[in-house]
Amino acid sequence: MTDFSMELNEDQTTLQDWVHGFSENVIRPAAHEWDEREETPWPIIEEAAKIGIYSLDFMANAVADPTGLSMMIALEELAWGDAGICMALMGTTLGVAAIMANGTPEQQMEWIPQCFGTPDDIKIAAFAVTEPDAGSDVSSLRTRAVYDAATDEWVLNGTKTWITNGGIANVHVIVASVDPELGSRGQASFVVPEGTKGIRMGQKFQKMGIRASHTAEVVLEDCRVPGSCLLGGKDKLDEKLARVREGKKASSQAAMATFESTRPAVGAQALGIARAAYEYSLEYAKERKQFGRAIIENQAIAFKLADMKTHIDAARLLVWRASWMAAARKPFLNGEGSMSKLYAGETAVRVTEEAIQILGGYGYVRDYPVERWHRDSKIYTIFEGTSEIQRLIISRAISGVHIR
């Protein structure tokens, strides 16, 4: 049996140092500018692609770490630099994860490289599930996919909302209903390649935080894609639908399991923001003097920092545990993936709020990064399953009761 260790191995510390260096030297100095511009930070993505951080190889190597920790370490460091830019770099992986989870090996080989492109010809991807009337309740999607046997094409119609990279992505993965009566069991995922007619960006949203990440509606109007764009293929879909119609269990539980295993990655980003705010406010509290002494000499401030650090370390342990479990293919019997995202997201909100308090008025103005970190942190209690939905998953898992 391998000895248990809490120490990162050499590969992991090398990765951590490398990504941290990029984050410190390239991302953080640009964070304020791209937050104000509210645009995709293409020059930063280009730099990340040049050194290999925005690439298929980077993602594949990080995901291949059998301990599950490499991706978590990289995401924490990137979000430490700036969560909006981190999301601009990592939004593509949402589409990639959907292709990995649902595509045949041939589809994975065909589409995943096209999600990243090359440093000279960068591509991005998007994953579109949410709709105006279907947020937490993904079983009620209205976007329809209808098969046209005459042309062997699928015809997509509907509107997706709040989509990261929506409408500007080169590859969109769209989740649509093929049989609305079957709810989430009657849904399938489709790749919409670049240049397809009938897909366009709707409203682009102006957000509270992570403003360097593009979020928009995606409108599908008689959008036709070849039959080969149905992830998993038609035979598998037909088999699944037949099983569901006979009242047998289908594999939508497998999709939920995939979500569970990607949640630690979201938690890792929240952790990066929390750590940035903690480190900044710790230094500030040592330097800022009031009543003739550093404000950290007051327990009221020092205890805040003690709590912040404790919550951050606890969140990291939950994130690493869940990611290790996912890599080791251990079942999340108690909703451990949800626990990691829930706790890290709420920690980021709490820690960044305390950081503002420690900085006082300086925490509240845009000349200092702390107010931005607080705005950025809030999304981590909302997307990829709200905190309430995470609690629902955990409470159902631990009780076996169908809590509502």
Ligand X SMILES: Cc1cc2nc3c(=O)[nH]c(=O)nc-3n(C[C@H](O)[C@H](O)[C@H](O)COP(=O)(O)OP(=O)(O)OC[C@H]3O[C@@H](n4cnc5c(N)ncnc54)[C@H](O)[C@@H]3O)c2cc1C
| DSSP string for 156-175 | EEEEEEEEETTTT-SEEEEE
Question: What minimum distance in Å lies between the beta carbon of 72 and ligand X?
Answer: 20
Whichever of 94 and 191 has its CB closer to ligand X, that residue is 94
Question: What minimum distance in Å lies between the beta carbon of 164 and ligand X?
Answer: 3
Question: What minimum distance in Å lies between the beta carbon of 88 and ligand X?
Answer: 12
CA 257 to chain centre: 15
CB 355 within 8 A of CB 303: no
- Residue in the structure block whose two tokens are 């949800």: 338
- Residue in the structure block whose two tokens are 């409470």: 395
Q: Which residue is nearest to ligand X (CB)?
A: 135
Burial class (CB in 10 A: 0-12, 13-18, 19+), 333: exposed
Question: What minimum distance in Å lies between the beta carbon of 212 and ligand X?
Answer: 11
Whichever of 166 and 363 has its CB closer to ligand X, that residue is 166
Whichever of 2 and 206 has its CB closer to ligand X, that residue is 206
What six digits make up the tokens of 357? 């308090």
Q: Which residues bind to ligand X, rule: CB under 6 A? A: 94, 127-130, 135-136, 162-164, 207, 215, 379, 382-384, 386, 388-389, 392
Question: What minimum distance in Å lies between the beta carbon of 123 and ligand X?
Answer: 16
Give CA–CA dist 246/361, Å, rounded.
63
CB 139 within 8 A of CB 125: no
Q: What ranges make up the beta strands (E) of 211-295?
A: 215-226, 289-290, 293-294
Whichever of 108 and 386 has its CB closer to ligand X, that residue is 386
Whichever of 135 and 183 has its CB closer to ligand X, that residue is 135
Question: What minimum distance in Å lies between the beta carbon of 228 and ligand X?
Answer: 23
Give CA–CA dist 215/168, Å, rounded.
10
Whichever of 336 and 384 has its CB closer to ligand X, that residue is 384
Question: What minimum distance in Å lies between the beta carbon of 126 and ligand X?
Answer: 6
Give CA–CA dist 90/1, Å, rounded.
35
- Residue 160: name the closest of 215, 107, 123, 213 by CA: 215
What H or E segment, with its residue span, contains residue 199?
A: strand 199-204
CB 303 within 8 A of CB 366: no
Between β-strands 144-148 and 289-290, what pairing exists: parallel, antiparallel or unpaired?
Answer: unpaired
Catalytic residue among 131, 217, 346, 384: 384
Give CA–CA dist 36/211, Å, rounded.
8
Whichever of 51 and 389 has its CB closer to ligand X, that residue is 389
Torsion of CA 77, 81, 82, 88, to 10 degrees: -60
Whether 384 is catalytic is yes
CA atoms within 13 Å, Cβ hemisphere of 25: 8
Question: What minimum distance in Å lies between the beta carbon of 388 and ligand X?
Answer: 3
Give CA–CA dist 92/33, Å, rounded.
22
Whichever of 90 and 230 has its CB closer to ligand X, that residue is 90
Helix, strand counts (H, E) of the chain: 13, 11
Which residues are known catalytic residues?
A: 384
